[in-house]
Structure formats: structure tokens, C-alpha cells
Homo-oligomer: A and B are copies of this chain.
Amino acid sequence: MNGQLKLYSYWRSSAAYRVRIALNLKGLDYSIEPVHLLRGGGEQHSPEHRARDPQEQVPLLQHGHRLIRQSLAIIEYLDETFPENPLLPATARDRARARSLAQLVACDIHPLGNLRVQQYLEREFGIEQARREDWTRHWIKRGFEALETLLTDNPASGDFCEGDLPGIADCCLVPQVYNARRFGIDLSPYPTIVHIDEACRQLPAFQKAAPENQPDAPSAA
């Protein structure tokens, strides 16, 4: 199908960051429609955005008249719709490994550090910021310990999570490492993660997707 690609995005959303990397790796033209997650109580809760996404989240991809929700579903959709520069490996076994690494980040680390979760911990449980940050660091560290083991134990890991080309797992890893740095996590126990993150961030597709290079990033970022 033909149609313009528009990504509803927020510069610091790590799920939107994943999709920006994927779009860039595929070499696709797209526009960014910023949704500010903090301004005015959160633009994601506006009637306009809620009509697009009842979950009131980013990212959200518009392709022509289609709306695609959920970052990993968006990445798979892009890979199926635009076959050039594949983001998933060629065999079922390797795809399973790449998806499981991506889901380790997307299901088991990222949802626990999300803005809405932070807000609940603060408002309903009265957890102060320092302890909320401990919480976020805890889940990142737990996840990274497992991710490091899985990446180090498997000969498929190269400069990237799955061999010598960046793909869906790298789209998840780099934004999560960005978050880990934001929260001051010592990354020295995870040398393979650090190596892959560095290899990725040398590529223009990752650089262009970085939070600080987004149109809605504060200029002082």
C-alpha cells in the first residue's frame, strides 16, 4: 500500500525512539508529529489523541489512513510492508531469538519505568523521587543482567544483537541504554550491551533517531 508515513512521537519516549530507529534503518521518509507527554497534563490525553489511540500513548504510526499501535507491532509492520533492509533475521529460529531479546526490553524492563507508572507510585503510594528512581534502576539492572548473559552466551551476537546487521532487538536495546544512562546506572557489568550500543550509535539511522535530535527536543538538551 502507498501512503505517507507519519509518526506520533515524543523526543524522550523510548518506545517512540525504537520506531524512529526502525524507520531510519529501513530508509523510509516520514514526518514526526510531536505529542508532548508532560505539557498541559499530557497531550497524549487530549480528545484528538485519544481518538487515534485509546491507550493515549506514543508511538503511533499513521500509514496513509491506517493507524498502527504498539512499537513492536509497528516495527514488524514496517518490515513486512517495506521488505528492503530487513529488521528481522531470515530463519524462524533467529527471528525467535531477535524477538525474545526485543520483548525482554519491551515487556520486562520498559513498562515498569514508564511515566504513568511513575505517576501512580507518586500519587497513590506516595513514593518519593529517590525511591522511584531505585525502582526504575532495579528493573533495568535485572533486565540487563539477563540480556547481557543472553547476548554473551550466543555466537549470533556480533557488533549487533543478531549478527552483523542491526535489527529489531537493537531498536529496543539502544533506547533502553539511553534510559539507563539517564538514571545513572553503572554499565560496566554489561560490556556486551555497551559494545552493541556503541556500534549502533555510530550509524546515522540511530543518530538521527536520538532524543536530542528530535524536532520537539528542548534546544538546551
Known A77-B95, A96-B68, A107-B70; judge A135-B120 contact (CB<8 A). yes
- Say yes or no for A182: interface residue by CB 8 A criterion: no
Report A84-121 CB contacts with B as 1/0, cut-off 8 Å.
00000000110110011001101110111000010011
Residue on B nearest A77 in the bound complex, by CB: B96
Contacts of A100 in B (CB 8 A): 68-70, 73-74
CA distance A84 to B131 in the complex (A): 49
Contacts of A143 in B (CB 8 A): 55
Q: Which of A5-13, A21-29, A144-152, A155-163 contacts B (4 or more CB under 8 A)?
A: A144-152
Closest chain-B Cβ to A175's Cβ sits at a distance in Å of 14
Closest chain-B Cβ to A117's Cβ sits at a distance in Å of 7
A96 and B111 form a contact (CB under 8 A): no
- Say yes or no for A80: interface residue by CB 8 A criterion: yes
Report A174-206 CB contacts with B as 1/0, cut-off 8 Å.
000000000000000000000000000000000
A55 and B99 form a contact (CB under 8 A): no
Residue on B nearest A66 in the bound complex, by CB: B93
Contacts of A92 in B (CB 8 A): 77, 80-81
CA distance A149 to B56 in the complex (A): 12
A-B pairs with lowest CB-CB distance, top 3: A73-B99, A54-B146, A54-B149
- Show the binding face of A for B, using Cβ within 8 Å: 1, 53-57, 66, 68-70, 72-74, 76-77, 80-81, 92-93, 95-96, 99-100, 103-104, 106-108, 110-112, 117, 120-121, 124-125, 127, 131, 134-135, 138, 143, 145-146, 149-150
Q: List 27 A-B contacts (CB under 8 A).
A: A1-B93, A54-B146, A54-B150, A55-B108, A55-B143, A57-B108, A66-B93, A68-B96, A69-B104, A69-B150, A70-B103, A70-B104, A72-B103, A72-B107, A76-B99, A77-B95, A80-B95, A81-B92, A103-B106, A106-B107, A108-B111, A111-B112, A112-B112, A121-B125, A125-B125, A125-B127, A125-B131
